[in-house]
Amino acid sequence: MIEKSLTLPCGHQIPNRLCKAAMTEGLADAHDHATPSHQRLYSTWARGGAAVLLTGNIMIDRRYLERAGNVVVEDRSGLPQLRDWTQAVHNGGSQLWAQISHPGRQCPRLVNLTPLAPSQVQLRVAGNFGKPREASEADIQDIILRFATTAGLMQEAGMDGVQIHAAHGYLLSQFLSARTNLRQDRWGGTLANRASLLLEVIRATRARVGPRYPIAVKLNSSDFVKGGFTLQESVQVVHWLNDAGVDLLEVSGGTYEQLEFFKLQAEDEIRDSTREREAMFLEYAKSLKAVARMPIMVTGGFRTLAGMEAALKDGHTDMIGLARPFCLNPNFPTQMLAAQLTHLPVPEDKLVLGRGYWGPNSPSNSIRSLNNLSQAGWYYHQIERLGAGRSPQIDLKPLPALVRHFGKDLARGFRRKFASAHLTLT
């Protein structure tokens, strides 16, 4: 099943069922352009054999980033670098799709003290995010235009498709959630109103790229927080996406408030059905698959060849999305396709600051956030090494990873601010 091709509604063909899901890279230069590090990183992954490589967050507006080091595409200034990045992937034998995104309130203070969001609902995680301002009608129309413009530039750069990020608590996800969207105008209130921005973004993007170019959407199955976007609402949104010209739907879940994709569970807490099927969102994806007319991709938790094959064979997903294993063994897709590898490495249980109070299930939100950050920092470090043409550093401890992550993000942020100030002065 994994090695079979998949034809999308737009007619585009994907050679096999493995996709490198999006991971933020933090490798852009001080002017927010792609770099040779992107080429080295993604050519390494392309040689690994996955059909599709999804980029990390490519931002549509340089005023609002998910983190310093994001690639920003809002005009033609970075097109040569994007073309080089795309060509490096094509030379390695994979397709490159761009994940395009706006962080909304999940924009750190180092980038912008006043992020843009549906409503003035502040994200309170580690004191890292400022109180947002509510998007005006003009802001919303600008956002729609920016998504379409960025998608068109990705197409011009030769990328094979785009994915509109409407999950994980980023801007479009915030509009979908009644927890973060308190608006009383046509963009808030009912689910139909809250989903209207996503649908308008898809409409404008399709008008820009034409009918034959792949458009994917990443959607939460649930936010997993009280008052947030629910599975029932997600099912309804998929009904609307069926008529919106979407070619592939990636199912995920969680936000910065509830990072399901970093969650660790003790062995005796994992349900038998979850253990058998591995993927943490597969149970939720079954509900979406029942109504979706486009192919589905499930990302998160797959670690065995048998689990992936079973999910495909049982019709619960059409593609397998994997992310962190690419940081540890970039060649695993080829090895799996050749039946030389049946299990992927799972180091997450070692990537915690401690046990008990300091462990991943600490009652303290701050401690849980630090554990999530240390785990993220550990993988960022592996991405940086691969981007430099080096091998992963598997023996790195979580605390040094956390310290390096903070230090490097600060350096990137200040370097970017200095470059912006210099450009303004000259």
Is pLDDT of 164 > 90? yes
Q: Considering only residues 376 and 272, tell me which one the structure prediction assigns the higher pLDDT.
A: 376
Question: What is the mean pLDDT of the segment spanning 160-186?
Answer: 97
The rounded mean pLDDT for the chain is 90
Per cent of the chain over pLDDT 90 is 74
pLDDT at 371 > cutoff 80: no
Mean pLDDT within 356-366:
57
Encode pLDDT of 249-271 as tens digits. 999 998 888 764 444 333 333 34
d(CA 148, CA 59): 12
d(CA 8, CA 243): 15
pLDDT at 355 over 90: no
Q: Is position 230 within any domain?
A: yes
Does 402 fall in a domain? no
In a domain, 23, yes or no: yes
Average pLDDT, integer, range 258-287: 57
**pLDDT (average), residues 205-227:** 96
Please report which confidence band the pLDDT of residue 235 belongs to, taking 50, 70 and 90 as the band edges. Answer: very high
Residue 358 lies in a domain: no
- Residue numbers of the domain that contains 184: 6-344
pLDDT score of 43 more than 60: yes
At 421, list the tokens. Answer: 């100030």
pLDDT in tens, 132-143: 999 999 999 999
Indicate if the alpha-carbon torsion angle 414, 371, 37, 95 is positive or negative: negative
pLDDT at 273: 42
Kindly state the average pLDDT of the residues 298-302. Answer: 89
175 vs 397, residue with greater confidence: 175
Among residues 92, 54, 22, 37, which one has the least CA distance to residue 390? 37
Cβ-contact 321, 21 below 8 angstroms: yes
In a domain, 92, yes or no: yes
pLDDT higher than 50, residue 277: no
CA–CA separation, 136 vs 130, rounded Å?
18
Count of domains forming the chain: 1
Q: pLDDT at position 366, please?
A: 64
Radius of gyration, alpha carbons of the chain: 20
Whole-structure pTM value: 0.93
Question: Would the pLDDT of 274 be above 70?
Answer: no
330 located within any domain: yes
In CATH, what number is assigned to the domain containing residue 117? 3.20.20.70
Q: What is the pLDDT of residue 353?
A: 62
Q: How confident is the model at residue 289 (pLDDT cuts 50, 70, 90)?
A: very high
Tell whether 299 is covered by a domain.
yes
Q: Is 25 inside a domain boundary?
A: yes
- Kindly indicate the confidence band of residue 84, based on its pLDDT and cuts at 50, 70 and 90: very high
* Distance between CA atoms of residues 105 and 120, nearest Å: 9
* Mean pLDDT, range 279-307, rounded to an integer: 91
Per-residue burial over 246-269, b if 16 or more Cβ lie within 10 Å, else e, is bbbbbbbbbbbbbbbbbbeeeeee
pLDDT at 358 over 70: no
